[in-house]
Each structure stands twice: as C-alpha cells, then as structure tokens.
Amino acid sequence: MRVVLDTNILLSALITGGTPPGRLYDLWRERRFQLVTCERQLGELNDVSRRPFFRARLRPHEVGTMINEIRRLAAVHQPLPEVARSPDPGDDFLLALAQAARADYLVTGDRSDLLPLGRHAGSQIVTARYALGLLERS
C-alpha cells in the first residue's frame, strides 16, 4: 500500500505518540506500508515545525530525525504534476504527490479542504483513524 501522510499527520505523530497519527508513523517504520513524499513536503515539515506552537512541543532534533528517516526510507517523488483542486492552494502539492506516486491513500487531518474532496486521481483521502483501521485489519 502506498500512502501520503499530510504534514499535519507527521507532526501530530511526533507530538502525540499512541494516537492514530503516531501509530501510523510506527506502522510505516515497521514497513507495513510505503510512505511517499516529495522535497516540498520535507521543506514544509521543517518550516512548520519552527512555528511557536510546535517549538513549544517538539525538540528540533526530533523533527530532524524524522526528516532524515523519511528522506532515507520513503519514496521521494519529483517532479510533481500541476494540480489546482484544493480550496487551499497550499495543499495542491499533496494532491499532486498522491497523483504522481499513484498512492492508494492520502491521510490528512484537514477537515475543511482535503477530506471533503474524498478522492483525487485514484487516491482515497482519509483520516488517520480510518487508515489505521485499514492497516490494523491487514
């Protein structure tokens, strides 16, 4: 199974282990699915983690370790197609990534922009809880 984890899911995994985002990250590290990413997402992960909310909850080395681990073990896709579908243009790269990678799932916590789309180019857009249920059953 090929999966895109939204940046909000990755950061949530670092903040709150044991929750669906944290469990998904653990299952990826156990090689239960293939994580797909792109350089833009890795840059976003680095940038967003420096915002005050995350700086108060995470140590910089935790984020750096995650980025290095993802860069080393995930499938990194470049270039991405042009996509303009999300109400938030900043999320279009995630849809492009799911499309380019032919991901089965795009996992997100974005209830206002991405989840309402339901699907994109063959990828189902789901919550972390839903994806976790799928993986725990398989």
Task: Give the CATH number of the domain where residue 33 resides.
Answer: 3.40.50.1010
Is the pLDDT at 60 greater than 90? The verdict is no
CA distance 63 to 25: 13
Instruction: Output phi, psi for 19, to 5 deg.
Output: -85, 170
What mean pLDDT value characterizes the chain?
96
DSSP code at position 90: G
Q: What is the pLDDT of residue 62?
A: 95
Q: What is the pLDDT of residue 17?
A: 84
Confidence tier at 91 by pLDDT (50, 70, 90): very high
CA distance 133 to 23: 10
- What number is the average pLDDT over the span 86-114? 97
CA distance 119 to 106: 9
DSSP annotation string for 121-138? TTEEEE-HHHHHHHHHH-
List the domain range (segments joined by +) for residue 99.
Answer: 2-137
Percent of the chain with pLDDT over 70: 100
Q: What is the pLDDT of residue 41?
A: 98
Q: How many CB atoms lie within 10 A of CB 99?
A: 20
Is the pLDDT at 138 greater than 90? The verdict is no
Start-to-end CA span in the chain (Å)? 11
* Domain total of the chain: 1
Is the pLDDT at 87 greater than 90? The verdict is yes
